[in-house]
Structure 1
Amino acid sequence: MSERLTAGEICTREVAIAYRHTDLVTAARLMREHHVGALVVVDETQGLRTVAGVLTDRDIVISVIAPELAPDDLTVGEVMTAKPVTAAEDASLIDVLRSMRAHGVRRIPVVTAQQVLIGLVALDDILEVLAQELGMLAATIGRGIQRERAQRT
């Protein structure tokens, strides 16, 4: 990793996807199968996947289950969040966090300059990176204390 962490470096590259025409029950099964709370909805052209939307478990609960709609009759395209917030692969970790906060989202698809999907950054990914950074900080403090004790004995 570089000194300046980017979305492309911390994102999960194996992303669970769905298409607009995928039925909602199949989408829910995909979430369960992949142990995720969101699917990136893509359009595929010439083998390249561009982001069309995001479908979250919350979208299903709020838009389908709560109003007692029949999930069998709906597609992902009818329930997804269209035009989701995305992050460029070279966006900084701070920029990703700011975007998450500004838009009230926990996951952001990461795209190339051509808007092709390359991964997904979730708050979990960011928390893991921050935990590693805090661990290094704590180790640095501990090492400094050890060095000082060694010099004074």
Structure 2
Amino acid sequence: MAERLDIGDICNRVVVFTTEDMTVKQAAELMRDEHVGSLVVIRDADLGRIVVGMVTDRDIAIVAVARDFEPQTLRVADIMNSPAITTRPDASVNEVLGLMRQHGIRRVPVTSDQGVLIGIITLDDLLEIFAEEMQVFVQAMTAGRHHEARTRV
């Protein structure tokens, strides 16, 4: 990568979130309606939306459904991953990839030092950036071959 990209520069600022008291059924419906595989769990505070956990479609399938819990009464707080693994907006791409690898996760909320939700970065987001960077490399290689072919004929 030519220049350092901070996660705050590339994270998605539109985040689908829930609260701890939402039912698992409501959370699943929200994921379906918003076409997302996870929800950031927040608690409203004077500072803003404080990240307290994450819940994924996999959590719902493995914890709630496979164990035969009642999704209409089970709460997000009962199945969420807490505390959430978060990152700062000034973190590097490599730092976030390290967090993802270390914790076996694909989505990381971006928070302020006080834990206030700023955005979210996903493995898919990072793959898209790397794909764009690889395209630049391919274009440079192709341009070099074309230049050489023209100058050496």
TM bracket, shorter-chain basis: over 0.9
Deviation at 1:114, TM superposition (A): 2.2
CA RMSD of aligned residues (A): 1.4
Report SS of the residue matched to 1:121. Answer: strand
Deviation at 1:147, TM superposition (A): 1.1
What does residue 29 of structure 1 align with? 29
Percent identity for Structure 1 against Structure 2: 41
Q: Per-residue CA shift, 1:42-98, capped at 9, x if unaligned?
A: 011126111000000011111110011111111111111110110110100000000
Q: Per-residue CA shift, 1:17-49, capped at 9, x if unaligned?
A: 000111111111110111000000001112611
Q: What CA distance in whole angstroms lies between the structure 1 residues aligned with 2:137 and 2:78?
A: 46
AA in 2 matched with 1:103? H
What does residue 136 of structure 1 align with? 136
Q: Which runs of 5+ in 2 are unaligned?
A: none
What does residue 62 of structure 1 align with? 62
Q: What CA distance in whole angstroms lies between the structure 2 residues aligned with 1:45 and 1:14?
A: 19
Report SS of the residue matched to 2:140. Answer: helix
Q: What CA distance in whole angstroms lies between the structure 1 residues aligned with 2:121 and 2:102?
A: 15
Q: What CA distance in whole angstroms lies between the structure 2 residues aligned with 1:138 and 1:116?
A: 39
Q: What CA distance in whole angstroms lies between the structure 2 residues aligned with 1:46 and 1:111?
A: 15
AA in 1 matched with 2:141? I
Matching of residues 54-133 of structure 1 within 5 Å? 54-133=54-133
Q: What CA distance in whole angstroms lies between the structure 1 residues aligned with 2:14 and 2:97?
A: 21
Q: What CA distance in whole angstroms lies between the structure 2 residues aligned with 1:16 and 1:35?
A: 10
Matching of residues 34-53 of structure 1 within 5 Å? 34-46=34-46, 48-53=48-53
Q: What CA distance in whole angstroms lies between the structure 2 residues aligned with 1:118 and 1:128?
A: 20
Report SS of the residue matched to 2:54. Answer: strand
- Give the total of aligned pairs: 153
Normalised TM-score (structure 1): 0.96
Deviation at 1:4, TM superposition (A): 0.6
Deviation at 1:116, TM superposition (A): 1.1
Q: Which runs of 5+ in 1 are unaligned?
A: none
Report SS of the residue matched to 2:52. Answer: strand
Report SS of the residue matched to 2:148. Answer: helix
